[in-house]
Amino acid sequence: MNIYEYLDPIFRQIKTGAFLTTKVGNQFNTMTIGWLTVGRVWEIDVVSVYVRFSRFTYDLIQNSDFFTISFPYPNDKLDKIKEWGERSGRDYDKLKLSDIEATKSVSGVVIKDCNVHIECEKIYQQIMDPKALKAELLEEFYGDQQDYHHIYYGKIIDIYFDNKLELFV
Domain assignment present for residue 169? The answer is: no
Instruction: Look up the domain containing 58 and give its range.
Output: 3-161
Kindly report the pTM of this predicted structure: 0.85
Whether residue 156 lies inside any domain: the answer is yes
- Are the CB atoms for 156 and 123 separated by under 8 Å? no
Tell me, yes or no, whether 115 lies in a domain. Answer: yes
In a domain, 124, yes or no: yes
Distance in angstroms (rounded) separating the CA atoms of residues 103 and 4? 25
Query: For residue 166, is it within any domain?
Result: no
Is 167 a domain residue? no
The per-residue DSSP string of 31-87 comes to: EEE--EEEEEETTEEEEEEEEETTSHHHHHHHT-SEEEEEEPPTT-SHHHHHHHHHS
pLDDT at 164 over 60: no
Digit-coded pLDDT (tens) for 43-72: 999 999 999 998 888 999 999 999 999 888
Q: Which residue type is seen at 53?
A: F
Number of separate domains in the chain: 1
The predicted-structure confidence for 103-129, as pLDDT tens digits, reads as follows 555 567 888 788 888 899 999 999 999
Dihedral angle computed from the Cα positions of residues 123, 102, 26 and 117, in that order, rounded to the nearest 10 degrees? -10
Position 161 pLDDT exceeds 90:
no
Q: Is residue 155 part of a domain?
A: yes
Buried b (16+ CB within 10 A) or exposed e, 102-132: beebebbbbbebbbbbbbbbbeeeeebeeee
Q: Say if 148 falls within a structural domain.
A: yes
What is the CATH classification number for the domain harbouring 43?
Answer: 2.30.110.10
